């Protein structure tokens, strides 16, 4: 009989078992979609001419090749980057990879869609939904995942334009914390069968269309201190966000790092007899946290099974992410087997920083970094999937809006239409183009989709019994599970045991 993971309901002492049956898809959506006066159901077709695309266009669809691919359950390790995605992106885009990139991108997008960033809300800086309801509230019950815990980070770091705080004196949320994402695990039998393994997902929140935070980075490298090698360095702002804690704040009494490591340790122990993958995803600053946490997990050897020889795959699907560390950091991630697929829009500025002067494209980077100890040497890692929003006939390709070029939904739209370098843009999964304008204004006007259309019904306001409109109280989650300190100790024990094993062999 399949095991049931105890996930702490509201983080109380009694575990709440999760059903393994497929979640119900009957629910009330909290989202309003403003349908345009023009034809609301667009027939999306391919065309080499952007000017010929109209909502009423009726044209033969073009298919790019006949794919006779093995099922994902048989090829998932390659899709997760076993061979660094060689031959899966170019010359022809692998359909399994396309769907998985979009799927993980949507899990990252859920962090935005559920985050309360309204400064007029007393809950600003929190997640709007209980972890047991988040996917349902976002029309994502079919994901087959259950959230096992939420992640928080202290706002007392030098990223002033990233954190959100309430302007109200009646705020019930901590002034020192922001909700940063979640850890989830696949629990649906059909999904596990399709994936070919049980998947642990870590999703980090980043920035929606706001890119100014990148200019607040001090561009200072500091030793990562996750290993004994002080030459492995990462950007100081990312490091602080990941590792700092605030003792006076319940939610940040443990750092984001400690929250992630303890939860991964708990899940890996619970599913220790199963085939498992660890997948980390994030957009923008969330992509930086995804790479940093992936490196951390691998460096501490949490993904090394008990015999000390086999490794659980650790994969990052990064969207519009900046550079995180120096060349030594890149090389160490490669040594540890961390696989990173970076999805970028070449028109987006964020992936070009930090490290504008010295980066992986500079011929003498190693000499400058190692011999001259140049303090601003950064390097991207992993495999890059370079997209260009000017290739999509659905978008306002000529505009210079940095926020739109950086938007996650725009990236997912570009992935859907990408078929290989130099090939014509054509939507493969027919993903709704209206999603592009959820939080930006990038679709061409003839599609009649309002900009920034996504919002909660009545912005979360409900009518009370006396007829007044009020913002209802939300259940206050206990910040951390009661056994977190225990699992953190297990992380330390695991690391010490791995070091002893390496010494003995």
Can you tell me the distance from the alpha carbon of 204 to that of 287, in angstroms, rounded to the nearest whole number?
A: 7
Is 406 assigned a catalytic role?
yes
Instruction: Please enumerate in sequence order all residues whose Cβ is within 8 A of that of 431, keeping only pairs 6 or more positions apart, or say none.
Output: 102, 412, 413, 416
Q: Please list the alpha-helical segments (H only) found in 166-280.
A: 189-195, 236-243, 256-270
Q: Which residue is catalytic, options 284, 377, 392, 439?
A: 284
Closest CA to 308 of 498, 499, 490: 498
Q: Cβ atoms within 10 A of the Cβ of 159, count?
A: 18
| CB-CB contact of 258 with 487 (8 Å) | no
Can you tell me the distance from the alpha carbon of 145 to that of 272, in angstroms, rounded to the nearest whole number?
A: 18
Can you tell me the distance from the alpha carbon of 14 to that of 22, in angstroms, rounded to the nearest whole number?
A: 23
- The upper half-sphere exposure of residue 182, i.e. CA atoms within 13 Å in the direction of its Cβ, equals 28
Strand, coil or helix: 324: coil
Q: Which residue is catalytic, options 283, 389, 406, 487?
A: 406
| CB-CB contact of 308 with 225 (8 Å) | no
| CB-CB contact of 332 with 356 (8 Å) | no
Can you tell me the distance from the alpha carbon of 84 to that of 216, in angstroms, rounded to the nearest whole number?
A: 32
Q: Which residue is catalytic, options 118, 199, 348, 441?
A: 348
Q: Give how far Cα 464 sits from Cα of 21, 459, 467, Å.
A: 36, 15, 5
- H/E stretch holding 295: helix 285-299
Can you tell me the distance from the alpha carbon of 226 to that of 68, in angstroms, rounded to the nearest whole number?
A: 43
Can you tell me the distance from the alpha carbon of 448 to that of 451, in angstroms, rounded to the nearest whole number?
A: 9
In DSSP notation, 52-116 reads G--TT------------PPPHHHHHHHHTTTTTTTTTSSSS--HHHHHHHHHHHHHHHHHHHTB-
Q: What would the 3-class secondary structure string for 424-436 be?
A: CCCCCCCCCHHHH
Whether omega before 240 lies within 30 degrees of 0, making that bond cis, reads no
List of E strands, 214-300: 221-223, 233-235, 276-283
Is 155 assigned a catalytic role?
no
Q: Which residues have a catalytic role annotated? A: 284, 348, 406
């Amino acid at each position: 009989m399949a095991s049931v993971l105890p996930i702490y309901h509201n983080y109380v002492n009694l575990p709440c078992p999760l059903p393994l049956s497929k979640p119900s898809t009957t629910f009330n959506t909290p989202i309003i979609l403003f349908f345009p006066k023009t034809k609301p159901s667009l027939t999306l077709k391919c065309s080499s001419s952007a000017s010929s695309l109209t909502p009423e266009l009726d044209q033969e669809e073009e298919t790019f090749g006949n794919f006779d691919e093995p099922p994902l359950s048989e090829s998932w390790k390659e899709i997760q980057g076993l061979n660094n995605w060689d031959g899966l992106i170019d010359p022809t885009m692998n359909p399994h990879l396309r769907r998985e990139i979009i799927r993980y991108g949507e899990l990252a997008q859920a962090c935005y869609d559920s985050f309360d960033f309204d400064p007029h809300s007393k809950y600003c800086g929190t997640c709007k939904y209980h972890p047991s309801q988040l996917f349902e509230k976002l029309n994502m019950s079919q994901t087959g995942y259950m959230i096992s815990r939420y992640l928080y980070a202290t706002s007392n770091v030098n990223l002033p334009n990233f954190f959100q705080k309430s302007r109200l004196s009646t705020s019930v949320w901590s002034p020192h914390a922001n909700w940063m994402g979640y850890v989830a695990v696949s629990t649906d039998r059909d999904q596990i069968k399709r994936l070919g393994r049980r998947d642990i997902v870590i999703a980090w929140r980043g920035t929606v269309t706001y890119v100014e935070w990148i200019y607040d980075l001090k561009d200072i490298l500091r030793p990562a201190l996750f290993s004994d090698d002080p030459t492995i360095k990462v950007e100081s702002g990312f490091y602080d966000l990941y590792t700092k804690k605030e003792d006076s704040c319940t939610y940040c009494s443990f750092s984001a790092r400690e929250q992630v490591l303890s939860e991964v340790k708990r899940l890996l122990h619970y599913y220790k007899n199963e085939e498992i993958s660890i997948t980390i995803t994030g957009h923008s600053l969330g992509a930086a946290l995804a790479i940093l946490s992936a490196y951390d997990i691998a460096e501490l050897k949490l993904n090394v099974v008990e015999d000390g020889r086999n490794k659980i795959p650790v994969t990052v699907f990064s969207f519009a992410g900046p550079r995180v560390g120096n060349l030594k950091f890149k090389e160490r991630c490669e040594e540890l087997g961390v696989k990173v697929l970076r999805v970028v829009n070449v028109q987006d500025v964020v992936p070009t920083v930090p490290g504008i002067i010295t980066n992986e494209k500079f011929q003498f980077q190693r000499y400058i970094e190692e011999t001259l100890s140049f303090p601003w040497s950064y390097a991207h890692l992993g495999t890059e999937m370079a997209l260009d929003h000017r290739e999509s006939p659905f978008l306002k390709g000529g505009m210079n809006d940095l926020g739109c070029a950086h938007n996650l939904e725009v990236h997912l739209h570009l992935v859907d239409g990408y078929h290989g370098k130099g090939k014509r843009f054509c939507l493969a999964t027919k993903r709704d183009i209206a999603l592009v304008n959820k939080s930006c204004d990038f679709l061409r006007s003839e599609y009649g989709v309002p900009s920034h259309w996504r919002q909660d019904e009545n912005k979360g306001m409900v009518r009370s019994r006396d007829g007044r409109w009020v913002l209802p109280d939300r259940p206050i989650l206990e910040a951390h599970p009661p056994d977190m300190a225990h699992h953190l100790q297990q992380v330390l024990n695991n690391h010490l045991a791995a070091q002893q094993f390496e010494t003995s062999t």
